[in-house]
Amino acid sequence: MVLTQFGEYPKPFEYTIKCFYKAVMHGKIGKIEVVDYTDQFLDWKKFKRTPRRKFKKNKLLWLREGKAKGRLIGGCMPSILRVAGTSYFPSFHNSIIFLETPEGERAGKPYKLEKVDADLSQLREVGIFEKTRGLILGIPYRYTRQIKQEFYRLVLERLKDYDFPILANVNFGHTDPIITIPYGAQATINSEVKELRIEI
Assign a CATH topology to domain 2-41+54-199: Glucose Oxidase; domain 1 (3.50.30)
Of 183, 191, 175, 177, which is closest to residue 65 (Cα–Cα)?
191
Name the helix (H) or strand (E) containing 170: strand 166-170
Q: List the 132-138 sheet strands across, edge first.
A: 30-31, 195-199, 186-190, 67-76, 95-100, 132-138, 166-170, 61-64
Of 38, 36, 19, 41, which is closest to residue 28 (Cα–Cα)?
19
Distance CA 32, CA 16 (A): 12
State yes or no: cis peptide before 182, omega within 30 of 0.
no
Distance CA 88, CA 5 (A): 26
Q: What is the pLDDT of residue 2?
A: 82
Q: What is the pLDDT of residue 28?
A: 81
How far is residue 135 CA from its own chain's centroid? 10
Sign of CA pseudo-dihedral 29, 74, 100, 196: negative
Structural domain boundaries in the chain: 2-41+54-199
Q: What is the pLDDT of residue 26?
A: 85
pLDDT in single tens digits along all 200 residues of the chain: 788 899 999 999 999 999 999 999 987 899 999 999 999 999 988 999 999 999 999 999 999 999 999 999 999 999 999 999 999 999 999 999 999 999 999 999 999 999 999 999 999 999 999 999 999 999 999 999 999 999 999 999 999 999 999 999 999 999 999 999 999 999 999 999 999 999 98
Q: Among the residues of 36-107, which ranges form H helices?
A: 44-47, 77-82
Long-range contacts of 49-52 (CB under 8 A, 24+ apart): 49/9, 49/10, 50/9, 51/9, 51/10, 52/8, 52/176
